[in-house]
Amino acid sequence: MKWYSYVIAALSAVLIVCIGVILYLEFANKHAAEADIFDAKAVAVSLGTPVSSTVKTAVEGTKTIYEVEAATLAAKEQARLDALKAEYGADRDAVKIGQKFGVLTVDNTSIDCGLYWGDDGAQLDLGAAAHSNDGAALPGGGRTVLIGGHTGTFFSTLSGAQIGDIIHLSTGFGEYTYEIYDMQIIEEHDIAACKFDAEEESCILYTCYPFGILQHTPYRWFVYARPV
């Protein structure tokens, strides 16, 4: 056998392998797309929400894997928002003192707790408590959102938050995110630090300082954030 016969045979083998890889990837992408479509439909059905029109189009047509993945994420997000509305109510103006109206999470901390309207002892024992007097507002109200939590419980890791981290307020009437831009030690009765007279919305988280003290202290740790 001539030397070039070996070369031709080797090239043929490589070509066959390449074709096999291409066919495998095509099958894998198709299978992943079908799995994502099923996942999106299952999420919507389990929560009693309609399957999004985008997912329907993907089922009936020939969408790419990326379009199907985007549709799946959109369906999951819509289902999550619908669940928040069902649990907490979609009307900001209807929220009453003592009512749980959402969930608070903070990047780079373990903070993940309920949000309550009002910040007396009863609310602070349950989770994060949003100040309801002095011009403070609920998220989306266009004014200062002042939220407190006990350093020994729900806000025990607030010290881990850093400038640039995001505060997430997930409520029945909307999703609100704020980027941390400042942190300060404040005297307990320093009302000016609460920025109740601000004309733009912001979010302030606060807890007792020094951290971890389980009794009254004269200082507070304030975390300032602006909407993003």
For residue 26, name the pLDDT band (cuts at 50, 70, 90): low
Question: Length of the chain in residues, anyone?
Answer: 228
pLDDT of residue 74 exceeding 90, the answer is no
> What per-residue confidence (pLDDT) applies to 157?
97
Q: What is the DSSP string of 115-174?
A: EEES-SHHHHTTSEEE--STT---TTSSSEEEEE--TTTTTTTGGG--TT-EEEEEETTE
> Residue 11 has which token pair?
């090239």
Q: Greater confidence, 52 or 212?
A: 212
Name the most confidently modeled range: 42-46, 57-61, 109-113: 109-113
> What per-residue confidence (pLDDT) applies to 1?
54
Q: Which residues contact 214 (CB under 8 A, 6 or more apart)?
A: 152
Torsion of CA 120, 122, 186, 215, to 10 degrees: 130
What distances in angstroms separate CA 146 from CA 121, 130, 179, 199, 204, one per listed residue?
15, 6, 14, 14, 5
For residue 215, name the pLDDT band (cuts at 50, 70, 90): confident
What percent of the chain is modeled with pLDDT above 90? 57
> What per-residue confidence (pLDDT) applies to 163?
98
For residue 77, name the pLDDT band (cuts at 50, 70, 90): confident
> Residue 123 has which token pair?
């609310």
Q: Structure pTM?
A: 0.68
Mean predicted lDDT score pLDDT of the chain: 84
pLDDT of residue 55 exceeding 90, the answer is no
3-state secondary structure of 64: coil
Q: What is the mean pLDDT of residues 199-213?
A: 94
pLDDT of residue 206 exceeding 60, the answer is yes
Report the range of poorest mean pLDDT among 5-9, 100-104, 186-190: 5-9
